[in-house]
């Protein structure tokens, strides 16, 4: 095989609200953690063991705004993207690294009724219908010449 592949598919629950960062050029980035878990029964002790892995998700622009609007802590989401490691310098001048999932597509998996119920407990405003799936790089849909 001549090429390489950097592809991630995750189903997990949000560990926190979406944190937004806006830039001067009207672009924005949303960040949130999701947790994935696996469990098994230990052969030695015969008890159930659960391992939870945390993933830092990064979404951009319109997708970030959709996530901020419709996602809440605890919601289940399907994420497709790629792994990216960033290098940055902290306040003390130390070089740090962060491994993130750059999200390309997502699908909300928490049913609308569950989302609306959690939103009612958080905010008194009326709740719009949320989109269930949002490919990030999809072109706008328009009329076509197909007869069906």
pLDDT attached to residue 54: 97
Indicate the SS3 state at residue 81: strand
Q: Please, what sign has the CA dihedral across residues 126, 129, 134, 139?
A: negative
Task: Give the residue extent of every domain in the chain.
Answer: 8-120
**19 vs 32, 58, 71, 84, 111, CA distance in Å?**
6, 10, 11, 19, 22
Q: Which of 28-37, 98-107, 137-146 is predicted with the least confidence, judged by mean pLDDT?
A: 137-146
DSSP structural state of residue 125: S
What homologous superfamily is domain 8-120 in, according to CATH? Nucleic acid-binding proteins (2.40.50.140)
Q: What is the pLDDT of residues 39-54, one digit of tens each?
A: 999 999 999 999 999 9
Confidence bin at 38 (pLDDT 50/70/90): very high
């Amino acid at each position: 095989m001549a090429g390489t592949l950097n592809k991630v598919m995750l189903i997990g629950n949000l560990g926190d609200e979406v944190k937004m960062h806006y830039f001067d050029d009207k672009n924005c980035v949303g960040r949130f953690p999701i947790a994935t878990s696996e469990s098994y029964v230990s052969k030695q002790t015969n008890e159930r063991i659960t391992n939870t892995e945390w993933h830092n998700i990064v979404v951009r622009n319109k997708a970030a705004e959709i996530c901020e609007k419709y996602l809440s802590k605890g919601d289940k989401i399907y994420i497709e993207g790629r792994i990216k490691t960033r290098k940055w310098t902290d306040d003390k001048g130390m070089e740090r690294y962060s491994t993130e999932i750059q999200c390309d597509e997502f699908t909300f998996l928490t049913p609308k009724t569950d989302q609306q119920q959690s939103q009612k407990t958080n905010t008194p405003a009326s709740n719009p219908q949320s989109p269930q799936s949002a490919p990030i790089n999809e072109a706008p849909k328009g009329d076509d010449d197909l007869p069906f």
